[in-house]
Every structure is written in C-alpha cells, then in structure tokens.
Chain A
Amino acid sequence: MSAAREMLCDTARAVFAEAATAGMGPIAEAGFALLLVPEDEGGFGGDWGDVNAVLQIAGAMVPDLPVAELIVSEALQPAATVSLMAGAMGQALALSIEHVNTRQQFGRPLGKFQAVQQSLAVMACEVRAVEAAAAALATRLDAVGLDPAAADFEIAAAKLRANRAVGVVTAIAHQVHGAIGFTREYDLNRVTIPLMRWRGAHGNDAYWALILGRQVAEFGGEGLWEALTAR
C-alpha cells in the first residue's frame, strides 16, 4: 500500500471511531466527500483503490452510516457496497478468531477444537474471496476511469460473489460465538445485520446472476476466456 493510502486509512480509522458515536458529522468535516474529486478542483484526487480501502474500514467500523453515499455516485453504489461488505466480513472474521481464542469450554479455547478450526477456515476463504473481488474490481475501475459501463462484468461478478458469501460468513460467525453473539450488546450483530441488508441492496444474487449470465452467453463458450484475459 502506498504511503498516501496508508495515511488515508489511518485518518479514516480515527474519524470513523469518533463517528461511531457522533454520527456523520466528523466524516463530513474531515472532507471524505472530496475523496474522488480531482485535486485541481480542490478535492483529494483519490482513485477507486482509495475508495475501496476507506469503505472497507467503514464497513467494519460504521456500517450503519451512509459513508458510501457521501463519497460515490449512484451508478457506482453496487461497487461501493462490495467494499463495505468486504470490510464487514473481515471484521466478522476478526471477532470470531478473537472469540474462539479466548472463550474456553472443556478446559481449552474453542479454537483448539478441529470442528471449530475447519468452520473458520471455510469462513476465511469466503472473506478472502470477497476481499479479492473488491480489489480486482478496484483495479478495473481505475483502469477505465471509473466508468461503470466499462467495468460492467467486474461489478456484476464482484457484487454477486460478495452476496453469495454472506450466508456462509454470517452463519459461521454466529455459530462459533454461541449465545453471546446473539445479544444486542455484543459487537457481532453490528456487522452481520448490515451484511444481511447489503446482500439485497443494489442488486441481489438473482439480479446480478442474470445480468452476468446474459453477458457471458453473448461472449460464447470460448469467448468467455478471451474476454476475461483481454480485460
């Protein structure tokens, strides 16, 4: 990660920590609305790689605040949601790992039981896949000057992949937490409820599957590979 993006992420973490209790005020004041505005227009001049990084942090820390709406135009909201989802899933995984390493049953941490380890490995694969989808989508969007039409395949594929991960990720996160994860007080629901909501927002599975499937049908069998490798 570049030094500038590293700094941006540090700022985002600090500002979102405040916003978690204070609401959108600190985020607006910090100028996040200008993230994608070019420097010569007084903006930050960021790219989608920056947006992806910031929205992943937002998805983990302030999933209920409209940060994506502040930064990104309507046409790019599906792409923005992928980043939010990647961040929230990363947070669900982090909470789960921490929990199974501390919670003891049968005289040892839950994480020492193979059944729990295998579940978390499955979950980690899904999280990793969504993080990769978000990053690859960012690469494409930046290569085509943030034109959603030129990144149509990647937007559809990434949102669909993120949607499909939600079931596994939320189910395993809650399962390994036991009853404590089902309480309002414990942090897990702060990311799992938004994940459930985001799956249906800006295109659910059926919506994107049909769009992507029709596009691929037009490529044709061999054309799919040619299209993938030409992008």
Chain B
Amino acid sequence: MQGFALYPFDPPGDVAALRAELRAWLAVNQPQGDIVARANCWASFDADFSRALGAAGYIGMTLPERYGGGDRHPLERYVVIEELLAAGAPVGAHWIADRQTGPLIQRYGSEEQRECYLPGIAKGELYACIGLSEPGAGSDLAAVRTTARETAEGWRINGQKIWTTGAHFSHIMLALVRTEEGSERNAGLSQLLIDLDTPGITIRPIIDMAGHHDFNEVFFDDVLVPHGALVGMRGQGWQQVTAELGLERSGPERYLSSHALLVALIDAAGAQPEPAVAALIGELAAEMWTLRQLSMSTAAKLAAGEDPMVEASVVKELGNAFEQDMPRRVQAIVTSGWDEPDNLARLLRALLIASPSFSLRGGTREVIRGIIARGLGLR
C-alpha cells in the first residue's frame, strides 16, 4: 500500500479521436428523454439504444473479433465507458453483460459458451444478470445455499437468489451455486450460466424505494440446465467470482453516477456563481478530478495484468462517498423545493433517494473497508 505511484493511462491509438467520434455519435443517437434518466444512468434501460451502440462497435469492445467483439484494448473501452457515463447515456440494458459477464465468459468459458453468448452480448442484444446474493447470503457471500446437483441429464438447480438487478429483462444469469454436496463456506461453489427462460424459474419484481423495478427475486424449482452450463472449473466458483468483483469495483461508474447533478448545478449557478456555490463546485470538481486519476490508474494496472484489489476498493469507497455526498451538499446550499419541476430539483430528489444504494451494491462500505484493511496488513 505504501509508496503509491500513478500507473500511466496510455491507451493505444488516438484517444482524442476516439472521444470525438463517440461524442459525435452520441449527439445523433442519444435519446433526448427525461434528464433524470441521465443520473445513475447505468441503471437506465433502453434496448434500442443498446442495439445501436452495439452496432456502432461500442459494446464488447475487448472481446475477440471472431466472437463479434472489437479486439480493442481495455483502456480504449475505459475511455468509451467514461464518455457514455459523463453523457448520461442509457446503458443499463447491456451494462452487466458488457462489463462483467462477457469478459468472464471470455476468460473462463468454454468454446461453445463463447460462440453461443459473446456475439449477442457484443451486439447489445443479449443481457445478463448477476446471481450472487441470497436471502441468507448478503455480505457473507460464502453462505450461498442454492444447490446444483449433477445428474445424467445435466445440472438440477434448487434455491433462490435475491436483489438480482435486471433479472426481469435479462436472457442469462451467471449464478454462484453450491455444486458439492456437504461442502461449506467458500469451498464447493461453482458458476453456472443459466438461460432464464428455462422451465422452473420464477422471477418476481422487488420495487425499490424510488418506486422503480430494477431488482428481483429469482426462484429455482428443480431447474434443469445442460452440463455445458458450468463456467470454468467445478468447485472454483469462489475464486472466479472474486476476480469478477475486481472488474466491477473500480470503473468510472463509481464516481460518475451523480455527474448529471454536477452538470445541472454548474449550469444553474451560471458563469458568475455566488461564493458559497462556487466553493461547493470547486470542492466537488477537486474530488472528481482526483477520483478520475485513481480510477484510470487502477484501470491501467488491471489492463497490465496486475490485480489491484486494494486500489479498486479505494476507488469504490471514495467514489461512493463522493456520489452520496454530492446530492446532500447540493441540497444544503441551493434553495429548491422538493417538488419543483426544474432540472436541478428533480435530479437532486432522484439522487437523494437513489444514493443509499451506492454503498450497498457491489459490496457494502464495511466490506470494502475490510478489504482495504486486509491490504494494509491488519487482517
């Protein structure tokens, strides 16, 4: 942890041109819908937009060309992602498939799985969800109880997942299940790729406090999936999931979820803001600039094949705190009624309500701090 230096963020090719191309594409193709959808936009579902984005080559960018990917460098993808988030583009439909499931299938999946799923992911047409949490397994993920038993016909799955974001619109779930009878804790777990239209699966909505239907309960009642549904090595599920979570934690989405609010604040303040507002804008800009440096450095480390587990957790911890703090501090300083119809007020209300989830999803604040403490040699 000591002696930290920034890892140079050096994507191949002309980054300025990549940004300019994407901005021009967005100017034409980004739907002009509700401004509130631009906040926390990696939860905004828009199938048409995802399909267009895929056709333009901005999804599955790092996957090999023979599976429909772009064979691009991970840092080129990073540039595209941060541009999409800063613009508030509705990337929610394909988000998990592009960020997590695709790369995981590429890394651990069989040839058959790659051919079956990656082209659809890269087209922005095949969506995925993450089946980790269960009623009894939240922070304590090793308490997973959903079972998959190997039979002559395939894997038979019984149990329940919960809080599954996007299960209701996804085609596949990458689930962590207990394949070894009598196994305990993080041994005996495996990852299965489950087609969600398989008989025996019931998906029930859970409405969140903002009134949205984003996450779900998913029940498995004697669900039979083929032997080929196993991803990677049987019994290695825990190790694979841990690697997957590393991909999830340090991306630009950890500090850009509230960016639409910062934009609205700056615009509402005008070119000559009063001192208190200017000071707040300055503080938020300083934090955001710092977070961007940390996130880019972590991405560069990941791209170089290192495992920056602790750095990734630092990005998530600081990014979540920044994103949660921003609406609170904006509310403390701008005069704006709760029900006002203007952009700033509506974004503010939406983010105040959404922000408690930022330090829960993807590992709670306490779990993340525990990982950092381990990196410091304390556990």
Contact = CB atoms under 8 A, between A and B. Distances in A.
A125 B297 contact: no
B372 A124 contact: yes
Interface in B267-292: 267, 269-273, 275, 277-283, 285-292
Contact of B6 (A135, A212, A225): A135
20 contacts: A90-B2, A100-B378, A111-B378, A118-B366, A120-B373, A124-B1, A135-B293, A157-B289, A158-B286, A160-B283, A210-B282, A212-B285, A214-B273, A217-B273, A220-B267, A222-B263, A224-B262, A228-B292, A229-B82, A229-B83
A216 B266 contact: yes
Interface residues of B, number: 57
B212 interface: no
Nearest first, the 3 A-B pairs at minimum CB distance are A213-B282, A213-B278, A212-B282
B281 A128 contact: no
A112 B378 CA distance: 6
B373 A117 contact: yes
B360 interface: no
Nearest to A97: B376
Given A101-B378, A128-B318, 14 more contacts: A94-B2, A97-B376, A118-B366, A120-B376, A121-B370, A122-B369, A136-B289, A208-B286, A209-B279, A214-B278, A220-B271, A221-B263, A221-B267, A224-B262
Interface in A154-204: 154, 156-158, 160-161, 164
Interface in A116-146: 116-118, 120-122, 124-125, 128-129, 131-133, 135-136, 139
A112 B376 CA distance: 12
Contacts of A205: 283
B285 A157 contact: yes
B2 A1 contact: no
B271 A217 contact: yes
B114 to A, nearest CB: 33
B249 to A, nearest CB: 13
B278 A129 contact: no
A134 to B, nearest CB: 9
B351 to A, nearest CB: 15
Nearest to A113: B378
Contacts of B379: 111-112, 117
B280 A224 contact: no
A128 B279 contact: no
B293 A133 contact: yes
Contacts of A211: 282
Interface string A91-116: 00110010011000000000110101
Contacts of A149: none
Interface in B54-112: 82-83, 86
A218 interface: yes
A118 B370 contact: yes
B111 to A, nearest CB: 38
B217 interface: no
Given A101-B377, A122-B369, A213-B285, A132 B262 contact: no
A128 B291 CA distance: 10
A127 B19 CA distance: 31
A164 B378 contact: no
Given A206-B279, A224-B285, A135 B5 contact: yes
A211 B271 CA distance: 13
A96 to B, nearest CB: 9
A213 B333 CA distance: 14
